[in-house]
A = this chain, B = another copy of it.
Amino acid sequence: MKLSVLQKARYEYQPKLPAALKQALDLISMKIGEATKSVADQEEVKALFPATYGKPLVTFRSGASSPNRNPLRVGVILSGGQAPGGHNVIAGLFDGLKKGNADSKLFGFLNGPAGLIDGKYKEIDAAFIDEYRNTGGFDIIGSGRTKIETDAQVASSLEVAKKMKLDAVVIIGGDDSNTNAALLAEHFIKADLKTQVIGVPKTIDGDLKNDMIETSFGFDTATKTYSELIGNIARDANSAKKYWHFIKLMGRSASHIALECALSTQPNVCLISEEIENEKKTLGQITQYLCDIIAKRAENEENFGIVLIPEGLIEFIPEMKTLISELNDAMAKHADEFTRLKTFAEEYAWVEKTLSKTSVQVFASLPEEISKQLLMDRDPHGNVQVSRIETEKLLLGLVQKELAARKNAGTYKGSFSGYTHFFGYEGRCAFPSNFDADYCYSLGFTAFLLIAQGLTGYLSSVRNLTAPADEWQAGGVPLTMMMNMEQRHGSKKPVIKKALVELDGKPFQEFAKNRDKWAITTSYLYPGAIQYYGPTEVCDAASKTLQLEQGKAKR
Contact = CB atoms under 8 A, between A and B. Distances in A.
B138 A239 contact: yes
Contacts of A2: 266, 523, 525
A7 B526 contact: yes
Given A425-B245, A531-B531, A534-B532, A239 B526 contact: no
A429 interface: yes
A229 interface: yes
A232 B534 contact: no
A82 B4 contact: no
Nearest to A7: B526
A296 B192 CA distance: 47
Contact of A533 (B82, B135, B531): B531
Interface string A426-441: 1111110000000000
A205 interface: no
Nearest to A81: B240
B428 A7 contact: no
Given A2-B525, A136-B526, A143-B240, A429 B7 contact: no
Copies in the complex: 2
Interface string A9-51: 1100000000000000000000000000000000000000000
B529 A225 contact: yes
A479 to B, nearest CB: 25
A415 interface: no
A273 interface: no
Contacts of A431: 526, 528-529
Contact of A528 (B6, B421, B539): B6
A95 interface: no
Contact of A239 (B240, B429, B530): B429
Interface string A136-168: 111100110000000000000000000000000
A208 to B, nearest CB: 19
Interface of A: 2-7, 9-10, 81-82, 111, 135-139, 142-143, 225, 228-229, 231-233, 235-236, 238-241, 243, 245, 264, 266, 419, 421, 425-431, 523, 525-535, 537-539, 541
Which 8 pairs show the lowest CB-CB distances between chains A and B? Answer: A533-B534, A529-B529, A235-B429, A137-B235, A6-B528, A138-B239, A533-B533, A236-B429
